[in-house]
Structure formats: structure tokens, C-alpha cells
Amino acid sequence: MLTRLLHSGSKRAVSTWSPLATAFNAKPSSRFDFGFSRKETGLFEIPELENADGFQILEDGAISRTNLLVEEAINTGTRTRKMVEIFDDLSDTLCKVADMAEFIRVAHPDSKYAKAAEQACITISGIVEKLNTNRQLYDALSNVISKGDILETTETDVHVANLFLFDFEQCGIHLPEEQRRRVVELNDYILQCGQRFMAGAVEPRVVNIDDLPEKLVKHFTNNGEKVIVSGISTDANDALVREAGYKIFLYPDEKQEKLLQELLNSRHELAQICGFPTYAHRAIRGSTAEKPEVVHEFLNLMNNELRDRAANDLRELQRIKGSNQPMMPWDTAYVSSKVRKAWLGSSNEEFAPYFSLGACMEGLNLLTQALYGVRLEHQPSLPGEVWSSDVHKLAVIDEDEKLLGYIYCDFFDRKNKPNQDCHFTIRGGRQLSDGTYQNPIVVLMLSLPSAKRSVPSLLNPALVDNLFHEMGHALHSMLGRTKYQHVTGTRCSTDFAEVPSILMEYFASDPRVVSLFAKHYETGEKMPEKMLHRICASKNLFPSSEMQSQVFYSMLDQVYHNGRLEDSTTNILEKIQKEYYALPYIPNTAWQLRFSHLVGYGAKYYSYLISRAIASWIWQTYFEADPLSRTSGERYRHECLAHGGGKPPSKLVADFLNKEANPVNFTRSVINEIDAKAEKINDLKAAL
């Protein structure tokens, strides 16, 4: 816990920070007393990776081990282990190289390491493709699932074995040869279409300078002849600029339309060859929702509940906009942001000093200790262990001093580092044959401001939310104690994977939790109560209109993947927007052609909403009354986090919440939260 030592007669209090907070508030140069080029180990303490050539050693080892495991699986006469154990060994052997190499490929500043890692990714990908076409291996697994194994199996064994089988059948290995070849062709074509669509989705729109009024030209990049519009200009003060940016950037593009239609229709053909009515049925199988009909019911229930509530939000936004012109799609983000800033009543410069990175990390530590009896301990990294001198290493330690795993924190901007907030699994957790546990290793990547001189990294409320969100993923990995690494931590269904991270956002928005760690980095003074409540309240503004937009996007994604397209994607968009969104469709715009999530989350965009519904339900049931409840924390740890993807998600949710995981209950949890937020805002308004 942070303490303060007050010097009599001094205007400034001197704060005594915990070792964890001190480490994260220090400048990188003060944390290392060695030359970064001198190495005592390899990356992640993997001895082979003292240099980039070590990837070849890891690749060779993976190939050798894979060949032995394949032989073990297909030689039924000599096999002594469960088939699912052999498959998980295969998965672990390949993932330990591929997952780590994928991270190094995108994150390592040394091009030699990045190139060697890329080659490792290609090598392992080739091995996986070869395994996916190994009919003997498929038959061995399929026979065990249909006829039973040589050893008694558990529910978890059967569940994970079926996951492996489904992964196999995604490649069409069970189909006649002609159909199997078509599946391979389609998968390749879908990949190419997706890559090209994503590239086009972010491509700036270029128009002749004469096509824009002179008073608008100055608001966009131009070269004297052409105007370049790179986004929808949601932060522009001038409504005409926002309108111009929206209409120009989202103007229909024939090439993008063709790519999207090809992508969607190819997915539909792929699904039908593999025995599914639609691509949505294929994508949603094994998820919390289980089938598209459940997703549609949930989205329609949400739509009905949100219609009047979202209309109220828009009326309030219209009042604040203060114009005779109605609210339009290019207005909502701007006006909402304006209102949030007004609610905060302070600028970033005023509240950021209370959110130093060290204070926030200490807050996370206090929370994990209170809920789970688990502490985050900063540990020095060995020379050669990390890829950049500003990477922090955390050991996650249980209250019986047992190590649970390591989190490497790559938090700060640097040249060529991807600008994304994400969680990477480097090594998955699993039970080993000798009874010990293979502890997980993960990396959290954020884009936080670096410390400057005597000022530590200072976060705004949005960055605090991001930090807590990503730490939710990391804790899912650390606290998962699955038998198999194929289902460790975040390796679960897409519509459950975000539950632990979204739940952490609730803790980051609760004044009782935030007050524990929001302290001035110089004085140690707690954040003023008025500021604290304003920050938390600002997150409760206009939840219905924001949720309605997510329902709209999710339903559009479902309809796109519900059969072969019989109309243009823009005409479909217009119809869905009219039914599921309060704001009108703008003629001659094609927002969906910029929606790159259609590639990575095809038929699964709804997953965020289901995850939020479950997280909200868990919060209301277990933590809203007492966000530091050890009893609730232990139940959540052992009944949710510990399973990873090793238990069917619908059963996991139903067992933990003692109610069926169905659309009615999902909708009720979200609407209860929205109504509670509205009540809090009204109470705060009345108090002002």
C-alpha cells in the first residue's frame, strides 16, 4: 500500500512508493546497470535465442518432435497415452515456436531477429498445413472420438479432442478429394480477398481540389491540386468539415464492393461444402451463443430494448449540439466527446498526474491481491532476455509463494513498434506428465507515453481503461490452470475471450477501486473526490446510443454471412440501418467498405456484445456490492478463469451464474447496467 510522509512546514508531501510502483515510474535508463548488448541469456530466457540464428535450432527441434508425435499417434499398436494428450503435445510443440516468433516478428527492433522470426513463422505454418492434410493422423483422432480411446477419458478430454477434430475439418480433410481441393482453394482465395479488402479499407480518398469549397480545403491535406481525406474528421469543430470528411471518405468504391462480395460469397461456398447452412453457422459453432439463431434473437431483443433509450440519448445530444440541423452520423462522436470533456471539468493535465503508470500498476496489484491472493512482483530482466531496454518483467505469485507465470510489459512507444494494444501468448500453460505445471508466459503491448526527466508516464482515463483491459487478458492466461495448452487462458471461444478483460474495465471505473491508487505522483495526495466521481461518471454517458451502434454493426455482420448475397452490400446496409439504428443512412456512402472487422471477425462481431453482457452479469452478481470481495474473487478465479477454453463456454457461464446462458438473460444484464448508468448521471446532475 502507498504511504505518505508529511514534512512539517513543507508545501509538498513526499510519497513513499512500493517497489512495483517505483519500477514502473522510473526512466528506463535508471533500471539497467549493464550494457544492453551484453547477453547472459536469450529472449524470454530461451538459451537458443541469444542470437537470431537460434530460431533455426528451435525450428529443427519442433520438426523433429512433431515427427515423433505423429508416429506415436498413428501407431495404434504401440500407443500408451490418450490421443488428446499426444495432440496437445503437438500443439504445444508448434505453438511455443510459432506464437513466440509471431510476437518477435512484429515487435523486435532488430531486423535480424524480426526476419529470422518471420522465417520461423513460415516454417511452422508449413508444418501445420502438412499436418492438416495427413489423413492417417485425422483418422486416428476421428476413430478415437467415435469409438473411444484406449484409456478412460474425461469430459474435458472429449471436449478438447473435438476441438482438435473441428480444426482438422476446417481444412476439409474429411471430404472427397475434389471437394477438399476446393476447400483449400477457397481458403487461399478468402485470405487474399481479406488482405486486399483490409488494405483498401484504410486507403485515403483523393479528390480534385476544385471539387471542394475553398473554405473546406484548408481543413484537409492537399498538394495544390488534390485533396487527401484520410478519415471521417469526427474531431472537427465545424459541422461542414465533419460532413465533408464523412461523405468523401465513405463514398462507395467499386473495387472494395467487389472484394467484399467475393469474400462473403466465397465464405458461404466454403461453409456449404463443409456441411454448414451458412458461414455464420460454421463461425459460431462451439461458441457461447452456439448458433446464429441465438445471436439473432439476442440482437433483436437488444434492438427493441434500446430503441427508446437510444432516442433519449440522441435528443440530449441534439440539445447540446444546439443547432436547427438534426443529429447526423458525423455529429455523434464529436458531440459525445464534447460532453465528456465538459463532464470531466478538467483537462488531461489536471488529472493525469494522479494516474502515473506506477500508481496504476500498484492499483492492479492491490486488486489482484484482494480478489485472488495473487501479487504482481517486478523482477529485473537478464541481459538478452528482453528486446528493448524499457520492457518490464512481472512475476505473478500466489499467496503460497508459488510462481504462476510471467508477464512482460512492453508499454512504451518506440520506432517501428506497432501502434496497438494487445496481449500475446508466448507460452501456454498446461499440466506436464511429471505432475508439474508449464507456467504461461505472455506479453502485454500498449502505446503509453514514456517517462520524461523527473516525470513518470502519466495516463489519461482512456489509457487506464486500456491498461486494465489488457491486464484482464493477462490474468486470464496466468490464472488459467488447464490440463491442455490448446485451451489455456484466452484460447477459448471468441464470444467469451473478452469477458475477463471487459470485467476489468468495471473495476477501473468504480470509484471505490480507483480511489485506492489514484494518487499524485509528486505529493502522494489522493485524487480529489469530486474529480474522481466526474471521471467515473463520464464513462456512463450515452450508453444506449453507443450500444445501439454495436447492435447495428453486429446484425449487419450476421446478415452478410447468412447466405449468398443477392443484393449489393450497400443496399443491405441501408435496410439494416433503417431497422437497427436511430440515425439515417446517408446516400452515396458505403461505411461497410471501411469496416475491416468483417475480415478478422466474420460472423463473430457480435462477440463483443455477448462478452460485455456476460461481464456485466458477473459484475452485477458478484462484485457490484463489494469490488474487493475475496469470496467472489476466488469463485470467479476457480469457476471461470481456471477453465480457459477447457469447458464449453455456455455451460461455464450457466454454472457460474446459476442461470441459463440465453438471449433473455444476456439482454437483461446489459439493460440493467444501462438503466443504472442513467440513474447515476441523473443523481449527479441533481447534485450539481
If you count them, how many residues does the chain have? 688
Q: Which residues contact 530 (CB under 8 A, 6 or more apart)?
A: none
For residue 317, CA distances in Å to 538, 670, 683 come to 14, 22, 19
Beta bridge partners, 409, equal 392, 444
470 catalytic residue (yes or no): yes
Residue 409, classed as helix, strand or coil, is: strand
C-alpha cell, 374: 495473487
SS (H, E, C) 295-337: HHHHHHHHHHHHHHHHHHHHHHHHHHHCCCCCCCCCCHHHHHH
Report how far residue 95's alpha carbon sits from residue 64's, in angstroms, rounded to the nearest whole number: 15
286 Ramachandran zone, left/alpha/beta (phi>0; psi -120 to 50): left
Report how far residue 301's alpha carbon sits from residue 663's, in angstroms, rounded to the nearest whole number: 8
Residue 273, classed as helix, strand or coil, is: helix
Going by C-alpha positions, the residue among 410, 413, 414, 433 that lies closest to residue 423 is 410
Report how far residue 688's alpha carbon sits from residue 683's, in angstroms, rounded to the nearest whole number: 9
Residue 393, classed as helix, strand or coil, is: strand
DSSP 209: G
For residue 587, CA distances in Å to 567, 577, 583, 591 come to 16, 12, 13, 11
Q: Catalytic: which of 72, 470, 498, 505?
A: 470
687 Ramachandran zone, left/alpha/beta (phi>0; psi -120 to 50): alpha
Residue 78, classed as helix, strand or coil, is: coil
Report how far residue 67's alpha carbon sits from residue 337's, in angstroms, rounded to the nearest whole number: 56
Report how far residue 132's alpha carbon sits from residue 126's, in angstroms, rounded to the nearest whole number: 10
Going by C-alpha positions, the residue among 131, 133, 54 that lies closest to residue 100 is 54
CA neighbours closer than 13 Å in the CB half-sphere of residue 422: 10
Going by C-alpha positions, the residue among 486, 401, 539 that lies closest to residue 165 is 486
Q: Where are the beta strands (DSSP E) in 161-259?
A: 205-208, 221-222, 226-229
Beta bridge partners, 392, equal 409
Report how far residue 557's alpha carbon sits from residue 562's, in angstroms, rounded to the nearest whole number: 9
Are 284 and 585 in contact, with CB atoms under 8 Å apart? no
Are 544 and 674 in contact, with CB atoms under 8 Å apart? yes
Residue-wise DSSP of 541-606:
SSHHHHHHHHHHHHHHHHHHTSSS--S-HHHHHHHHHHHH-SSPPPTT--GGGG-THHHHTTTTTT
Residues belonging to the active site: 470
